[in-house]
Amino acid sequence: MSDHDSSTEIPKGSYAAGERVKLPAGAEPPFTIFINGVEQSQDTYAIEGGEIVFNRPIVKEKMDAGRWLAMYLGIFGTYRKDETIDLQFSRDGKVELLPDLPVVPYPEAP
C-alpha cells in the first residue's frame, strides 16, 4: 500500500504510523501475527524482504509531553487508538513471542 491516507479510519489523537514491521534476526516461519492480541489472517499481511507488510496502516496514539506527564502523574489515562503488533515465530528450533514490535514509519513527504 503506497498511500497512507487510505480507507482506514484514523481517530482524533492518533495517526497512521506505517504499514511495515521488521522481522527479528533469525526469525523463521511459521509466523503468527497479532494486532492488539487478535490473530491476523494471512490475507491482511505479506512477508516481503525481511518485513511484515500490512494491507492497511497501523494506528498509533499521538503522545505529547503534556499527555505523557498527566498519565505519569495518574491524573488521567488514555483511551485513544494505539495498535500493538506481536509476533510469534521460530528461531533455532524454539518458538518465540515478541510483543509490541516497532512500526517502520512512513518516509517523510517532500
Whether pLDDT at 75 is above 80: no
d(C-alpha 1, C-alpha 56), whole Å: 7
How confident is the model over 97-107, as pLDDT tens digits? 999 999 999 98
Whether pLDDT at 79 is above 70: no
Whether pLDDT at 45 is above 80: yes
User: Which alpha helices (DSSP H) does 1-110 contain, by range?
Assistant: 65-72
3-state secondary structure (DSSP) of residue 13: coil
The pLDDT value recorded for residue 71 is 56
Mean pLDDT calculated for residue range 28-34: 97
Q: Higher pLDDT residue, 5 or 19?
A: 19
What are the boundaries of each domain within the chain?
14-102
In residues, how long is the chain?
110
Q: Which of 63-72, 76-85, 94-103 has the highest mean pLDDT?
A: 94-103
User: Tell me, what amino acid is at 44?
Assistant: T
**Positive or negative: CA dihedral 37, 42, 44, 50:** positive
Reported confidence tier of residue 6, pLDDT bands at 50, 70, 90: low
Whether pLDDT at 11 is above 90: no
The pLDDT value recorded for residue 13 is 77
User: Which alpha helices (DSSP H) does 46-94 contain, by range?
Assistant: 65-72
| Residue ranges of E strands in 1-110 | 14-22, 28-35, 38-39, 45-48, 51-61, 85-91, 94-98, 103-104
d(C-alpha 85, C-alpha 35), whole Å: 5
